[in-house]
Amino acid sequence: MKMMIVGSGGREHALAWKISKSPLIDDMIFVPGNGGMREMGECIRADAEDPGAVADIAAAHGVDFTVVGPEAPLVAGIVDEFQSRGLKAFGPTRQAARVEGSKSFAKNLMEKYGIPTGSSRVFTSYDDAKEYVEHIDAPIVVKADGLAAGKGVIIAKTTDEALTALTGCMVDEMFGEAGCTVLVEEYMEGPEVSILSLTDGSANAHMVASQDHKRALDGDEGPNTGGMGAYSPVPLLDTGTESMIHRTVMDATVQALSGECIRYQGVLYGGLMLTDAGPRVLEFNVRFGDPETQVVLPRLTSDLLPALLATYDGTVKDLEMKWSSEYCVCVVMASGGYPGKYQTGIPITGLRAAASDPKVEVFHAGTRLEDGKVVTSGGRVLNVVALGPDIKEARGLAYQAVEMIKFDGMHYRTDIGHRAVAR
Ligand code: GLY
């Protein structure tokens, strides 16, 4: 089978790594891929957010099955484009991808079907939003309705901060059209967990839980990022609560969409907060999490590819995924300045030595090859991943590998998995 993977981050490298182990695979190509994926197959430069251009590549290269990594092409309708040309792709259609593409759509769905989430109000008028914000207590969460490259959720500690966020979204249009509609949501507290479920629109196969570290600095301080590390399993999530989330959130959401005549196929990502009042959905994503995928897939001992195909073929009810009980830790190595401005083109050394232990993988997230050498090309550069019998060993091994890698300005958190270690 010839596969194509769309995307260029650590998530896509981890998907490629796991899929490449399948006996069903003959060949893989990547659009556009990165410095790490280049060792596994051809990387083809194209605009991954242009459904027509990506479908042209799939057709021209005789691709049997395409896995779409990021949300933007899914929300833009890449799966619909593939379907209209008789090409096979993993992921939801544009209509189903609205659970990530429109936060108000997701919120209305959850409210209609009793899926636990924070209370919120949707506004399309700045004046109405301003008046509402002036009459409620801070902290206040302001969310741009559409896709905003991970920057559309603002947690305002004061009313003034909330008003600034509203002006940024609705008046200055800092997120373009994505911020013209906003949600003003209740502030909730508690640890977060991420659940990924493969689904064909009727049956679901839930993957093991993980936890992301979104803040840039140790101790969960500093600005929000795309994710500075992750680990799995999550000891603070007891099996009772996990099963409840599977039933009342993940299964319920796929059924709710079906109740709206929308068939959801692919992976559904539930980002939840474990509040004192019980789990609450913060967001849904329509793709694998990044960097959650990098700690979930190494724990999967069965073949990933038949599981992805089952979402397309409608055979998820017969699917049996097998998981290792080992812990997995991912440390993200980032460019100096990230999540703000950063330089690219900086040479990276130590990659081979870092990945020499069979329990360690180094996934590339923001790299490219330049004159045969791997250099930085993004904010999140590398994902160093290690497996171990417990959190301490997995973490120790990951950081041992991190210390072998060098590039100017690099930074990373030194406390990934701290909540699990504390337990
Ligand atoms: N780790 C958060 C996300 O994938 O959106």
User: Is the model's pLDDT at 423 over the cut of 90?
Assistant: no
Same domain membership, residue 353 and residue 265: no
Is 197 in the same domain as 312?
yes
Ligand 1 centre distance from Cα of residue 291 (Å):
7
- Note whether 333 and 415 are same-domain residues: yes
Q: Cα separation of 20 and 44, whole Å? A: 18
The per-residue pLDDT for 174 is: 87
Position 116 in a domain: no
Q: Rounded to whole angstroms, how far apart are CA atoms 138 and 357?
A: 49
- 150: pLDDT strictly greater than 80: no
Whether the CB of 290 sits within 6 Å of ligand 1: yes
Examine residue 101 and state whether it is found in any structural domain, yes or no: no
Q: Is 100 near ligand 1, meaning CB less than 6 Å away?
A: no
Q: Mutation test of ligand 1: which of 285, 294, 383 has the most ligand atoms closer than 8 Å to its C-beta?
A: 285
> Are 213 and 220 a contacting pair, CB within 8 Å?
yes
Domain identity same for 293 and 205: yes
Place of tokens 């980002």: 271
Confidence category of residue 422, pLDDT binned at 50, 70, 90: confident
Residue 186 lies in a domain: no
Do 79 and 31 fall into the same domain? yes
- Residue 379's contacts (CB-CB under 8 Å, 6 or more residues apart) are 225, 226, 334, 335, 338, 339, 342, 366
CATH number at residue 284: 3.30.470.20
Residue 103 lies in a domain: no
Among 193, 224, 234, 269, which is best to mutate for testing ligand 1, by the most ligand atoms less than 8 A from CB?
269
Q: How many domains does the chain have?
A: 4
CATH number of the domain encompassing residue 36: 3.40.50.20
Task: Give the amino acid at 57.
Answer: I
pLDDT tens per residue, range 330-379: 999 999 999 999 999 999 999 999 999 999 999 999 999 999 899 999 99
User: How confident is the model over 164-184, as pLDDT tens digits?
Assistant: 999 998 888 888 888 889 999
> For residue 289, how far is its CA from the centre of ligand 1 (angstroms)?
4
Encode 347-368: b = buried (16+ Cβ within 10 Å), e = exposed: ebeebeebbeeebbbbbbbbbb
In a domain, 104, yes or no: no
pLDDT band at 151 (very low <50, low <70, confident <90, very high): confident
What is this structure's pTM? 0.96
For residue 115 the two structure tokens come to: 């899926």
- Which residue, judged by its Cα, is nearest atom 5 of ligand 1? 289
My answer on whether 334 and 313 are in the same domain is no
Range of the domain at 211: 192-318
Q: Mark whether 210 and 271 lie in a shared domain.
A: yes
Q: Is residue 100 part of a domain?
A: no
pLDDT (tens digit per residue) in 207-252: 999 999 999 999 999 988 999 999 999 999 999 999 999 999 999 9
- Which CATH number does the domain housing residue 175 bear? 3.30.1490.20
The answer to whether 89 and 78 are in contact (CB under 8 A) is yes
> What CATH code is carried by the domain that includes residue 359?
3.90.600.10
The answer as to whether 150 is a domain residue is: yes
Residues 64 and 44 in one domain: yes
> Looking at 50, 78, 93, which one is the last position of a domain?
93
Interval between CA 225 and ligand 1 midpoint (Å) = 9
**% residues pLDDT > 70 (the chain):** 100
Nearest atom of ligand 1 to the alpha carbon of 212: 1
pLDDT of residue 77: 97
Name the residue at shortest CA distance from atom 1 of ligand 1: 290
Same domain, 298 and 340: no
Q: Atom of ligand 1 at shortest distance to CA of 230?
A: 1
